[in-house]
Amino acid sequence: MINFRKTGFLIFMFLIGSLQYQSFSQVVLEADGPGETYELINSVFAPGYNAVESVECVHPEFGRHIAEVWDEDLKQYVFEFYIHVTPDNDRCLYFDRQRVEIKTYESSPANLKGIAGETVIYKWKFKIPDGFQPSISFTHIHQVKAVGGDDDMPIFTLTPRAGNPNKVELIHNNITKVVTVPLSLFEGIWVEATEKIKIDSQHGTYSMTIKKISDSTAILTYSNNDLMTIRADNSFIRPKWGIYRSLNVPSALRDESLRFASFSIEEVQPNSSKLTQENGKTGFHIYPNPASKRIYVEYYLTKTTDVNLVLYGINGLVEKTIISHEIQTTGKYQKNVDVSGLQNGLYFIRMSSANFIQTEKLMILR
């Protein structure tokens, strides 16, 4: 477990070993007392950058819209998010909605971004106050969003919604409401959410369980072993937490606060990467990784297919096209690639064919 604190002390463990092993990493964000809250969040989710989307641009007199407060139920400091019907908006960019959220994103460390082939586990605690008034349109309190390509719509959202009665919806691909439960089950109590995602553009797996902390009773459960958890043209997925709501009917809303605690992002990267003729799987692996001047991409095909192999930056832009629409037959192949012209940082290599896609991370370090 990697635990970052307000002292600014960073512990970063990068494990490089035989590709036959699995690698695990976990990052935890905990509140530790009033003051320097945004700095704490940034030090964990995007060191040196800004992982907070807030409304101080339009509402500076209130101060920061996320604070660390003592919670008597949990007996610990927690994060409290605030949103106001007036004058808050969405970062002075959009005025029909409001947003106070924290996130991982392009500038976050590699182990906080989920790519195709990985499994990620998100855990967090939250408390919705009594009488919480969600919008009839949307009030997202958690999103899993994609970066690169078609990334406008979230992959998953946890959304309280006004109705008769008010409800909480788990939504896939911004359209399909896979679970709906009464909002009253959440009000006034602390709950813990566990979300597990195997990332795949066609046959991913997903599960969400939310339990009362007081007695571990499950109040929302869902699982699906065959669904899209990343779009084929996305570079990675990443989580968001907070309050993001529509202002279509502001008279139906009130000033709100929402408490969160114990954010955890765990990345499980099983090695399906060591792919050889003996195990009979289509796929590839990269070595050395991290690299400085040159990499080798070793891949194996189980049938004749049209192959693409492309190196992307974290912004989704193509840095190098290694193979473009080559028809190749069954067998094992190797490409060596000059990366000496790339700047230090995180990149992605994606191999795709008619019915296969795999993405791996590449670190350039000199």
- Cα-flanking dihedrals φ and ψ of residue 185, to 5°? -65, -25
66 shares a domain with 214: yes
Q: Looking at the domain assignment, is residue 191 inside a domain?
A: yes
Examine residue 160 and say whether the peptide bond preceding it is cis (omega within 30 degrees of 0): no
Chosen domain end from 269, 302, 323: 269
- Give the model's pLDDT for residue 282: 74
At 21, which CATH number? 2.60.120.200
Q: Looking at the domain assignment, is residue 275 inside a domain?
A: no
Number of compact structural domains in the chain: 2
- Give the model's pLDDT for residue 76: 96
**276 contact partners, CB below 8 Å, separation of at least 6:** 300, 332
Spatial separation of the C-alpha atoms in residues 327 and 354, rounded to whole Å: 11
Cα 341–Cα 343–Cα 348 angle in degrees, nearest 5? 95
- Give the model's pLDDT for residue 4: 38
Chosen domain end from 247, 269, 291: 269
Quote the pTM value. 0.75
Tallying the residues shown for the chain, one arrives at 366
Chosen domain end from 220, 244, 269: 269
- Under DSSP, the state recorded for 110 is G
Domain span at residue 229? Answer: 2-269
**pLDDT tens for the chain, residues 1 to 366:** 434 344 333 333 333 232 222 334 688 999 999 999 999 999 999 989 999 999 999 999 999 999 999 999 999 999 999 999 999 999 999 999 999 999 999 888 888 999 888 899 999 999 999 999 999 999 999 999 999 888 989 999 999 999 999 999 999 999 999 999 999 999 999 999 999 999 999 899 999 999 999 999 999 999 999 999 999 889 899 999 999 999 999 999 999 999 999 999 998 755 443 333 334 567 888 888 888 888 988 888 888 889 999 999 877 788 999 999 999 988 888 888 999 999 998 898 988 887 677 888 898 988
229 shares a domain with 88: yes
**71 contact partners, CB below 8 Å, separation of at least 6:** 77, 78, 127, 190, 259, 261
Q: Looking at the domain assignment, is residue 277 inside a domain?
A: no
The token duo for 178 is 């896979």
Q: Looking at the domain assignment, is residue 159 inside a domain?
A: yes
Question: 60 to each of 123, 157, 196, how far by Cα in Å?
Answer: 31, 29, 37
